[in-house]
């Protein structure tokens, strides 16, 4: 083997982030996108804070509306212009688009504190958002152009992360910048610093993209319209209530963002308080996104989704009523966790069990975006209409702000959405929620008592006896070993039934004659499979099951695996279909142990003394396939199999089989019993 010094990924290793990180152009683009992403997320609090500062002398209603106006301007392009952005971005050079997008955003953001006017702040927010839509379309796809084909899905995933992870960082940076500004700037200029920092970040991003080499990519960029996706509904149409759940959780999170700047002002915190609440929300969201698919493994994901929405709504109730900034920031973080968990759970529910390459979250994304737009447009005016109330409660005062009231209304609507969504999504009707949750906390799926009784009975019935099957090709010696095992078990006092396939019952004898008679010609493979399955159904119903229910040990010479190996692998028919037919024929009865004796077909066939029957007369390739089939079956379920080389001495094989059988006996025979008592009879077959 030659070594080049470079570490190569293991060929079997799944393509992943570690392989991506070793591709230099990808890594550099990823960093540049992360910096742009930081600017993108910073622009949200920076521009809204600017609107609040510019309306600082107006009443709370006007301030709330100004902040809401900026948020609307930031969201409208994402909802309405996405398809155009995709078409435009497809026609342009990827690197140049990223470069121009960052440079434009630098200039626009920088102009806001310089012009210092509310209408321009709105216009700037709209323009920044328009540029960001084109930027996002390119940023989501460009990294995939820098990696080999097999790494493209991972590159797309990683690009999405580069755009999202800076959100909590931006909130923290904003909070710090606001603190610094508070100590150094006059009241009217406090929001300027955050805008300068945002512009600076975009400038760094521009330099980062300028330093990149070519970013190839000629394939069209598809950015479907969120409104169209919304009206088409989820891909999995049966997921009733999912849209409502996502809308509920977006309503809760969106309402906080919509009024946070003004509400935190009422609670005595300026921009820094606003930054703290946004930090709580975004850090919580990130944590919740991570937690969603991992938490409470055995618990129904659909139930979890409904519960997460209800939890987010309840958190918002607390946020709306409590008048302490620290508590509000912490409870908002909890709201973020619930919202993030709801989001990732919705994606899991939509994706089902099938890992899919195309984004399962397109539908929830559209619902969230459109809901957020409606919320930021409606909640601030609602707060203004309600206005503030002052209550004199004797011992103390309670100031009920319009923002708090609007949050409470949003919380109640989100709660309603959560409750309805829970009902609709629930896939465990009638299973008590608390017991279900408690069991999931212990890593179990809750089984209602009545169902448990039925299952216990089934298990008890199944577990009364023991079922051992011997399998192998022709002349492997399984008949001999099955008999030896039965004698050994009887010697230890067990009630043992020895039986075989085909032909253990009266009907079975007739079927056996048909199946093995060389005079039977032209029997189709399917008919042969069904005849063996019919023999087996009769065998299980009339011999095996009654014996097991009595508590006996059943030792069978051949069982289902023979059909899988001979009719499946040997006759080259679909093995899964044969397994399904046999599962039905046997009522799902599976041996506790299957002893597989392996022998090369030539050796095995050479051992036979009687004239070859219909199956034995098959060509050597058929028997080779059968042997390989048995082997594959054993490999797929190693815990149920004991695989032995049948060319070994008979005594050795018997001993190994006995050791293995001991492990599954209801009342195990202590190892070494025979050595101590010397009562083991000498068996000759
Ligand atoms: P049998 O005389 O019982 O011989 P063996 O000692 O090999 O078990 O013959 C059974 C034949 O039937 C054997 O060649 C394997 C074949 N067979 C199938 O093809 N499918 C099946 O499901 C079973 C049980 C057996």
**Nearest C-alpha neighbor of 533 from the set 580, 479, 475:** 580
Inform me whether the pLDDT recorded for 670 exceeds 60: no
Each residue of 515-533: pLDDT tens digit? 999 888 889 999 999 999 9
Listing DSSP states for 4-22 in one string gives -SSPPPPTTSPP-HHHHHT
CATH of 457-677, one of 3.40.718.10, 3.30.365.10, 1.10.10.10, 3.40.50.300: 3.40.50.300
Q: How far apart are CA 647 and CA 603, in angstroms?
A: 9
Q: Is the CB of residue 74 less than 8 Å from the CB of residue 129?
A: yes
**Residue 252 in tokens:** 């809760």
Stated pTM of the model = 0.62
Task: Find out whether 138 and 221 touch, Cβ atoms under 8 Å.
Answer: yes
- Least confident residue range of 11-25, 364-378, 400-414, 625-639: 11-25
Pocket of ligand 1 (CB under 6 A): 474, 479, 500-502, 516, 532, 557-558, 562-563, 566-567, 615-616
Mutate to test the pocket of ligand 1, among 480, 502, 527, 544 (most ligand atoms within 8 A of CB): 502
* Residue listed under structure tokens 């760094």: 204
Q: What is the C-alpha to C-alpha distance for residues 593 and 561, in angstroms, rounded to an integer?
A: 12
Give 134-188 pLDDT, tens digit per residue. Answer: 999 888 888 877 888 778 878 888 888 888 899 999 999 999 999 898 888 777 7
Residue-level pLDDT at 456: 54
If pLDDT is split at 50, 70 and 90, which confidence band does 473 have? very high
Q: How many angstroms separate the alpha carbon of residue 604 from the centre of ligand 1? A: 13
Enter the CATH code of domain 17-217+230-425: 1.20.1250.20
Mean per-residue pLDDT for 477-487?
94
Which pLDDT does position 185 carry in this prediction? Answer: 76
Q: Select from 478, 505, 566 the residue to mutate for testing ligand 1; criterion: most ligand atoms less than 8 Å from CB.
A: 566
Q: What residues does each domain of the chain span? A: 17-217+230-425, 457-677
Give nearest CA residue, ligand 1 atom 16.
615
Which protein residue's CA is at the shortest distance from atom 11 of ligand 1? Answer: 615
Tens of pLDDT along 413-465?
999 999 999 998 888 877 888 888 888 888 777 776 655 555 555 554 455 78
Bridge partners (DSSP) of residue 389 are: 400
């Amino acid at each position: 083997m030659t070594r080049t010094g470079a570490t190569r990924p293991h060929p079997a290793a799944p393509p992943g982030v570690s392989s991506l990180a070793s591709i230099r152009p990808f890594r550099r683009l990823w960093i540049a996108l992360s910096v742009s992403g930081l600017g993108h997320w910073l622009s949200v609090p920076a521009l809204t804070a600017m609107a609040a500062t510019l309306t600082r002398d107006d009443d709370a209603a006007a301030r709330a509306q100004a902040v809401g106006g900026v948020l609307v301007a930031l969201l409208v392009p994402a909802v309405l212009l996405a398809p155009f952005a995709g078409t435009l971005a497809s026609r342009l050079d990827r690197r140049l688009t990223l470069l121009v997008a960052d440079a434009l955003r630098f200039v626009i953001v920088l102009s806001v504190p310089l012009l210092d006017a509310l209408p321009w702040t709105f216009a700037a927010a709209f323009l920044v958002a328009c540029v960001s839509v084109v930027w996002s379309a390119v940023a989501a796809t460009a990294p995939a152009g820098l990696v080999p084909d097999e790494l493209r899905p991972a590159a797309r995933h990683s690009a999405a992360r580069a755009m999202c992870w800076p959100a909590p960082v931006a909130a923290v940076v904003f909070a710090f910048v606001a603190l610094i500004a508070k100590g150094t700037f006059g009241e009217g200029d406090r929001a300027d610093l955050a805008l300068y920092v945002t512009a600076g970040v975009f400038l760094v991003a521009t330099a980062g993209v300028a330093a990149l080499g070519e970013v190839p990519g000629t394939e069209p960029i598809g950015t479907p319209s969120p409104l169209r996706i919304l009206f088409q509904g989820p891909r999995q149409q049966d997921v009733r209530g999912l849209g409502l759940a996502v809308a509920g959780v977006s309503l809760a999170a969106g309402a906080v963002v919509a009024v946070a700047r003004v509400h935190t002002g009422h609670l005595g915190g300026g921009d820094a308080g606003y930054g703290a609440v946004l930090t709580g929300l975004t850090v919580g969201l990130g944590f919740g996104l991570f937690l969603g698919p991992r938490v409470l493994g055995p618990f129904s994901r659909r139930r979890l989704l409904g519960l997460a929405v209800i939890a987010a709504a309840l958190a918002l109730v607390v946020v709306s009523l409590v008048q302490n900034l620290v508590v509000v920031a912490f409870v908002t973080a909890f709201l973020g966790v619930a919202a993030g968990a709801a989001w990732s759970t919705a994606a899991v529910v939509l994706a089902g069990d099938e890992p899919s390459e195309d984004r399962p979250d397109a539908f929830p994304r559209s619902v969230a975006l459109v809901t957020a737009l409606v919320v930021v447009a409606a909640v601030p005016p609602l707060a203004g209409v309600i206005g503030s109330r002052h209550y004199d409660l004797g011992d103390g005062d309670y100031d009920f702000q319009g923002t708090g009231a609007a949050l409470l209304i949003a919380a109640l609507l989100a709660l309603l959405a959560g409750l309805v969504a829970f009902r609709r999504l629930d896939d465990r009707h009638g299973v008590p929620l608390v017991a279900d949750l408690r069991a999931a906390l212990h890593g179990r799926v809750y089984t209602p008592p009545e169902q448990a009784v039925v299952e216990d009975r089934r298990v008890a019935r199944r577990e009364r006896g023991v079922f051992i099957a011997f399998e192998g090709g022709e002349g492997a010696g399984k008949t001999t070993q099955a008999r030896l095992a039965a004698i050994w078990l009887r010697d230890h006092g067990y009630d043992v039934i020895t039986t075989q396939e085909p032909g253990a019952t009266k009907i079975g004898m007739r079927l056996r004659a048909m199946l093995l008679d060389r005079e039977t010609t032209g029997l189709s493979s399917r008919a042969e499979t069904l005849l063996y399955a019919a023999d087996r159904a009769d065998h299980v119903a009339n011999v095996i099951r009654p014996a097991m229910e009595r508590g006996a040990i059943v030792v069978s010479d051949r069982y289902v695996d023979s059909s899988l190996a001979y009719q499946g692998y040997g006759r080259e028919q679909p093995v899964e279909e044969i397994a399904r037919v046999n599962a039905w024929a046997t009522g799902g009865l599976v041996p506790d142990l299957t002893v597989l004796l392996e022998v090369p077909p030539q050796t095995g066939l050479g051992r036979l003394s009687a004239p070859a029957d219909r199956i034995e007369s098959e060509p050597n390739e058929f028997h080779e396939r059968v042997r390989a089939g048995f082997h594959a079956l054993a490999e797929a379920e190693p815990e149920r199999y004991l695989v032995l080389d049948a060319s070994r001495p008979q005594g050795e094989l018997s001993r190994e089989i006995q050791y293995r059988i001991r492990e599954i006996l209801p009342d195990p025979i202590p190892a070494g019993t025979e050595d101590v008592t010397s009562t083991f009879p000498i068996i000759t077959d």
